[in-house]
């Protein structure tokens, strides 16, 4: 039987973030974070990522005055904080070897600028990674994933203020010192390029706090400060714990020209350069000339210290982590063309691809192309740390979830990844499905946009029992992982039928 043979050390995993699953938003000394200020707003177009993650100072004050949990989805998450032992046990039973998750900064330093950490927060994460290690699961740790402490927004203007680099430095080093014996792979900042698209959830920036400033300049200044902060942590780890691996992370979205018109090809190339600019800085150690030219043309002036350039140059990431969900087309003139959405940008509808309920076009070959382009560009190990499908799942009367559409999505993307491993000469550390249990969607602040392999009984208004139920996709992924490092090619041609425990065991 023909099979895809992969490295025995290849990491098969799942991924999530603290602000989307944990809950326990004000327990055991945790402070308020920006994620606690975001709520599901049904009056908004849930496919508009920017709108659902924009906020005003007035709305922040409203959030601070309301100490309830039910209507603030990320305050309750799916209560992973109190259920992590059972959740990890269920995931371990699936056969995973990696679990990507994040630290809540406000759980360690409640105000962000505290002199001493919250010991209860450190002990929680220590127990969490020990629980993973118990099942031989490799923790993949993201230090900052869309939840800067709110105090740093209100009193320092968040990542725009250079002092926040020092606060992050203290936070990150504290966590690394405490957990380095249990965690090998670290990512300082999730999807660092996302600050351009949604500056509040990524960096705590609220536009009305900068009335006399060019807000685009504010965004790029905050982005620069994040690059400096990441480089400082890479330097610290390389000098103090040389066995640790420190990556960078970007959002990868393939962008195709609408047709072979050279003007459309040029437009697609320009957008893809913008995708790579953020990994260029962290892997090549300097701002690419085309980005510097763009900043100059737009009169964006980044204030930096003399040592910043050398720090970034000398302290580059060990691997490139990336998320991949979809692709788009683009054209130099989009008038009269149907527009569609993706995780990173809007684009022109691609007639050759289906789309999800939330308008993201599904493109498995785009994942293979991303692997090829990133590896050819950098010649450094890659790590797919997010890939999954958000969909409306239905829990049947007999407590089943028949999510064939998710199985199709995962099957086709994983198949292309395996083909790339065998044929394209790439170096890949691992693959993580985006979704452990269901979680609160970052793009819409809903749980009804479900990503998990395990269903959680909860609705967008916070009603439900929080009970967990394994989906068909859970059993499909378990079957895939049961093959070890030799995966039969025929597995990807099998007809999809409702998968259950008996079909796997």
Written as six digits, the tokens of 128 are 């969490």
Q: Which two tokens stand for residue 408?
A: 């199709």
Residue 427 a catalytic site member: no
3-state secondary structure of 322: strand
Residue 96: other Cβ atoms inside 10 A:
25
Helix (H) or strand (E) holding 255: strand 245-257
Asked whether the beta carbons of 344 and 253 are under 8 A apart, the reply is yes
| 192 and 223 Cβ atoms separated by less than 8 Å | yes
* Other residues' Cβ atoms within 10 Å of the Cβ of residue 373: 15
Distance CA(338)–CA(335), nearest Å, equals 9
Active-site hit among 386, 423, 427, 461:
386
CA distance 229 to 332: 36
Residue 461 catalytic? no
Characterize the bridge pairing of strands 486-488 and 3-5: antiparallel
In angstroms, what CA-CA distances link 403 with 92, 122, 414? Answer: 21, 37, 17
For 349-389, the three-class secondary structure string (H helix, E strand, C coil) is CCCCCCECCCCEECCHHHHHHHHHHHHHHHCCCEEEEECCC
Rounded Cα distance between 207 and 375, Å, is 36
DSSP state of 121: H
Q: Which residues of 427-452 are buried (b: 16+ CB within 10 A; e: fewer)?
A: ebbbbbbbbbbbbbbbbbbbbbbbbb
Q: DSSP character for 496?
A: P
Catalytic residue among 22, 138, 147, 191: 191
Instruction: Say how far apart CA 403 and CA 394 lie, in whole Å.
Output: 8
CA distance readout (Å), 243 to 126, 184, 185, 246, 500: 19, 7, 10, 10, 40
Q: How far apart are the first and last CA of the chain?
A: 20
262-283 helix and 364-378 helix, angle to the nearest 10 degrees: 60
The catalytic residue positions are: 191, 386
């Amino acid at each position: 039987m023909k099979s895809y043979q992969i490295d025995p050390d290849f990491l098969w995993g799942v991924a999530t973030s603290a602000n989307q699953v944990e809950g326990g938003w004000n327990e055991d000394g945790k402070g308020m974070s920006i994620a606690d200020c975001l709520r599901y707003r049904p009056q908004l177009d849930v496919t508009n990522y920017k709108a659902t993650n924009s906020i005003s100072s007035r709305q922040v004050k409203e959030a601070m005055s309301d100490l309830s949990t039910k209507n603030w989805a990320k305050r309750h998450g799916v209560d992973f904080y109190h259920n992590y032992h059972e959740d990890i046990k269920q995931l371990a039973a699936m056969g995973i070897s990696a679990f990507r998750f994040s630290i809540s900064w406000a759980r360690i330093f409640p105000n962000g600028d505290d002199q001493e950490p919250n010991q209860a927060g450190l002990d929680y994460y220590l127990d969490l990674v020990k629980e993973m290690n118990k099942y031989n699961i490799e923790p993949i740790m993201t230090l900052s994933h869309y939840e800067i402490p709110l105090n740093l927004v209100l009193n320092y203007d968040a990542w725009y203020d250079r002092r926040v680099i020092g606060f992050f430095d203290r936070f990150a080093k504290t966590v690394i010192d405490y957990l380095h014996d249990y965690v090998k792979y670290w990512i300082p900042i999730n999807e660092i390029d996302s600050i351009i698209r949604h500056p509040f959830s990524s960096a705590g920036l609220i536009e009305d706090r900068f009335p006399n400033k060019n807000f685009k300049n504010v965004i790029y200044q905050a982005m620069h400060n994040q690059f400096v902060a990441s480089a400082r942590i890479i330097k610290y780890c390389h000098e103090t714990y040389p066995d640790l691996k420190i990556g960078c992370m970007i959002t990868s979205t393939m962008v195709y020209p609408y047709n072979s018109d050279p003007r459309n090809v040029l437009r697609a190339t320009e957008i893809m350069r913008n995708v790579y600019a953020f990994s260029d800085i962290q892997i090549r150690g300097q701002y690419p000339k085309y980005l510097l030219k763009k900043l100059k043309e737009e009169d964006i002036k980044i204030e930096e210290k003399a040592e910043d350039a050398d720090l970034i140059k000398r302290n580059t990431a060990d691997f490139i982590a990336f998320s991949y969900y979809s692709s788009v087309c683009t054209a130099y003139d989009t008038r009269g063309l149907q527009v569609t959405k993706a995780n990173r940008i809007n684009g022109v509808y691609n007639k050759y691809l289906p789309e999800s309920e939330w308008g993201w076009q599904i493109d498995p070959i785009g994942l293979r192309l991303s692997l090829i382009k990133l590896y050819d560009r950098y010649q450094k190990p890659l790590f797919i740390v997010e890939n999954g499908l958000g969909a409306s799942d239905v829990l049947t009367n007999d407590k089943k979830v028949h999510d064939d559409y998710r199985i199709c999505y995962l099957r086709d993307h994983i198949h292309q990844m395996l083909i790339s491993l065998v044929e394209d000469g790439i170096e890949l550390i691992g693959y993580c499905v985006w979704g452990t249990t269901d979680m609160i969607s970052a793009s819409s602040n809903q749980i009804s946009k479900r990503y998990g392999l395990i269903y959680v009984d909860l609705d967008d208004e916070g009603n439900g029992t929080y009970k967990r139920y394994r989906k068909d996709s859970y059993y499909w992924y378990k079957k895939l992982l049961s093959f070890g490092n030799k995966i039969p090619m025929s597995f990807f041609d099998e007809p999809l039928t409702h998968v259950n425990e008996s079909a796997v065991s």
